[in-house]
Structure formats: structure tokens, C-alpha cells
């Protein structure tokens, strides 16, 4: 414990802060430049996510002092990376590649049923009152 101050040498925190700000501005510029229109969404994603990884590494190494920690950091943190990578890969083949067709197939059956009921009720009411036959006679 006594040599903890040696373990955590004074980091130039403001400089790290400056880097983080520059990276943030860079990703906003990537958005404003509309890289999606210039190239495609893959380029944009690659650029901004790479910037994020740089930012994350600065936060992890300097703010969270991981740079100065012992080997235990790998035992705790590396297994989590396995999940982070395995999940998208596992889902990619089904969800990522053949998900829905171009037309969204979900139907709001509840609402349609509701509308049907209303129409039926109306037809019933008209029948009850003995009015002229309803124009949508095929209701039942």
C-alpha cells in the first residue's frame, strides 16, 4: 500500500481531457461532413467507432488507472470481451443478414379486431332499428 503513489504516477489529466474533447469534436465533424453520403454507412461507422475505441482506451488507461494496475486486470476484463464479440457474431447470421423482408410483416391484429367489432356493432344496430340495408352488407 505504501508504494501506491509510485503505482499511480501523476498523469497529465488535462492533456487526456484535451484528447477526449478533440476526439468528440472529430466524431461530430464526421457526422456533419456526412460521410454516409460521401462514402457509405460502413465508412462512417468505422470512423466514429474507431474514435470511440480511442476515447475508451484513454479513459480506461489513465482515468481508471488500468495502465498502472497489475496483471489481474486481464483476468477480470478479457472474458467480458468474449461476450461482447460473441453475441453480435452469434446473432449476425440470422438477425443481421436475413431478418425481416423489406416490407415489415407485423400486423396490428388487436387494432384490426377492434375496428371489425365496431363495424359489426354498427351493422347490428342498423339491423335492429330496421333501417335500409347497410351499404357494407358483407359485414357478417
CB of 130 to other proteins, least distance (A): 18
Position 6 contacts other proteins (CB under 8 A) = no
The SS3 of residue 13 is helix
**Helices in 59-108 by DSSP H: which ranges?**
72-91
127 binds other proteins (CB under 8 A): no
Q: Is 39 in the site for other proteins (CB under 8 A)?
A: no
122 binds other proteins (CB under 8 A): yes
CA dist 88 and 17 (Å) reads 31
Q: CB 126: neighbour CB atoms within 10 A?
A: 16
31 binds other proteins (CB under 8 A): yes
Task: State how far the Cα of 8 lies from the Cα of 135, in Å rounded to an integer.
Answer: 83
Rounded Cα gap, residues 9 and 63, in angstroms: 12
Among 12, 37, 100, 140, binds other proteins (CB under 8 A): 100
The residue among 39 and 59 lying less far from other proteins, judged by its C-beta, is 59
Which H or E element spans position 30? helix 13-32
Spatial separation of the C-alpha atoms in residues 70 and 3, rounded to whole Å:
13
Binding site for other proteins (CB under 8 A): 1, 5, 8, 10, 13-14, 16-17, 20-21, 24, 27-28, 30-31, 41, 44-45, 48-49, 51-52, 55-56, 59-60, 63-64, 69-70, 72-73, 76-77, 79-80, 83-84, 87-88, 91-92, 95-100, 102-104, 106-108, 111-112, 114-116, 118-119, 122, 136
Amino acid at each position: 500500500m505504501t508504494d501506491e503513489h509510485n503505482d499511480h504516477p501523476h498523469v497529465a489529466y488535462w492533456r487526456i481531457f484535451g484528447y477526449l474533447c478533440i476526439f468528440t469534436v472529430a466524431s461530430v465533424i464526421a457526422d456533419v461532413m456526412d460521410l454516409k453520403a460521401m462514402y457509405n454507412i460502413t465508412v462512417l461507422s468505422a470512423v466514429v467507432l474507431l474514435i470511440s475505441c480511442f476515447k475508451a482506451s484513454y479513459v480506461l488507461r489513465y482515468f481508471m488507472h488500468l495502465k498502472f494496475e497489475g496483471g489481474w486486470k486481464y483476468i477480470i476484463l478479457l472474458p467480458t470481451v468474449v461476450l461482447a464479440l460473441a453475441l453480435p457474431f452469434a446473432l449476425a447470421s440470422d438477425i443481421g443478414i436475413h431478418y425481416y423482408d423489406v416490407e415489415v410483416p407485423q400486423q396490428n391484429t388487436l387494432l384490426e379486431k377492434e375496428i371489425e367489432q365496431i363495424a359489426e356493432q354498427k351493422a347490428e344496430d342498423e339491423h335492429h332499428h330496421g333501417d335500409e340495408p347497410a351499404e357494407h352488407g358483407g359485414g357478417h
